[in-house]
Structure 1
Amino acid sequence: MACAALFGTAHAQTPGQAPDVCALASAPAGSWRVRVPFEVIDGRIYVQATVNERGPFRFAVDTGASGMGRADSSLVAALGLAVHDEADNSDGVTTSKADVTRFDSLEVGGLVRRNLEVMTRDYSGNKPPAEKFSGIIGRDFFNDGLLVIDYPNTTLSFSRSLALHEGQAGVLPYERAFRIPVSIGNMQTTGNLDTGANVAFVLPEAMYTQVSRTPLEKAGAGTLSNTQVQTGRATLHGPFRLGAATVSDVEVRVSDSYPELLVGAHALQNMTLLIDQRSQSVALCP
């Protein structure tokens, strides 16, 4: 969750023409290995999961989190899990050490992953009760199929029989998960899709000055996994174009410490997001 606790923000969405690939999200029920509802709180999405055949527990689905998952310290205590190692944990600005524990199994909607090494820390201790969670589903949990996050219908689906293919209309390739082509007005860049960040967009200050002359308002500190960064805010017309989707007149956060454009949950929450890590492809459907 690279941008886990940055401040929430408003957004505006302009519908576009959905390409044919977006019809995959409406494939028949038999096409899906997993099809479960999710909650949306401050843009972030939460599903029910079981750990070591116990639960259910509330888990955030976070495309900004590497690996199979994370365990909140409350879950480690509740299940009596042992901490047995350390691992490097980067939030995009700094890297620190995090404790590591093991899940015998992690299950979402009937999809089970076994013998998982997961990082653990106090992810939700300071959050209000409505936002607390027991763990995080990382992007590798869905790395062998097509993941569909349908925000308007609050449904998460996963299929091994359906796929995105390079060259399909509306399909965006990526090299590093999940950095996709994004345009801001006439400027072309790349943006990191992060469903765990409760913002619309975070821009490096050098990028913001290329697309706007509007002075920034002070917005206080944004909290990343390991770091606090000072941020400013402004409303940016854009438009931001992400595949077939367009977002305009949106509040953005700006930091001279953040290294890249981040596309957060508030920019995505009126779209359907399709991710196929087998072909390193993404589609965003308005």
Structure 2
Amino acid sequence: MSRTVVVTGASAGIGAEAARELVRRGWQLAVVGRDPDRTAHVAAEVGGSSFVADFDRLDEVHDLGHALLGRYGRIDCLVNNAGGLVPRRALTVDGFETTVQRNLLAPALLTELLLPRLTESRARVVHTSSVMNRLGGLRLDDLDFDRRPYRGGWKPYAASKLGVILYARALARRTGLESYAVHPGYIRSGFGQGSRSAAIVQTLTASMQISVEAGAAPLVHLVDTPELGVPNGTYFDGLNPWGATHRSADDARLGDELQALIEQRLGTRIASGDAA
């Protein structure tokens, strides 16, 4: 039986490379990206289906969830890989800080919209996080960085990637679905385009950077390995299942509080997802 995987952020970089390898391994691909031309190109290359959504707009994420539910009667894996870093603080049209929405809120919305189908399929959910989670400092009373230094986007980036781990673990506890977060590595890429500090970091980490193919390998491993042999909710650093995290990543209460806050912020959109 054909297995279906949804990969977001798949129009370039590790998402596109993971899509290529997963097709080679027999998976049916839903290729999700924000750029229509690049997304269509990757989908055509791998023989998958193209879905376009801008995660800076939650209405587009909502429409994406409905489109996926309408297209696939079974979804075996969801890879929440889309995200990024915004160098200057700005709010989205939805009223949330952009980096936090891209990395945490939009992927959570998509996951919640697909949850009935994921549960039926006993699916696995893979979330792209970052080693930067260790510098997190997630504050639920200031998720949008209204009252804290923005630091060129690095503070909300770190906080949102810590939030990804907490959400992944809360999802595992709440639903029983396999749910794993992963740092894919320091990858040679256009990460943080437009950010001077991101360019400096790319230069300083040049000796540690790995290829896009190597960065995609942990995603492919987490999607395609039937038995991972680790506790549900494990955070991977590359292929290492014992990745270092911020001390609060193990705080189940904080994870549940974050889940409740996400539901509060996205509630009407999540609730209306059952119609598809």
Query: Is TM (by shorter chain) over 0.5?
Result: no
**Higher helix residue share:** 2
Q: TM-score, normalised by structure 1?
A: 0.25
Larger radius of gyration: 1
Q: TM-score, normalised by structure 2?
A: 0.25
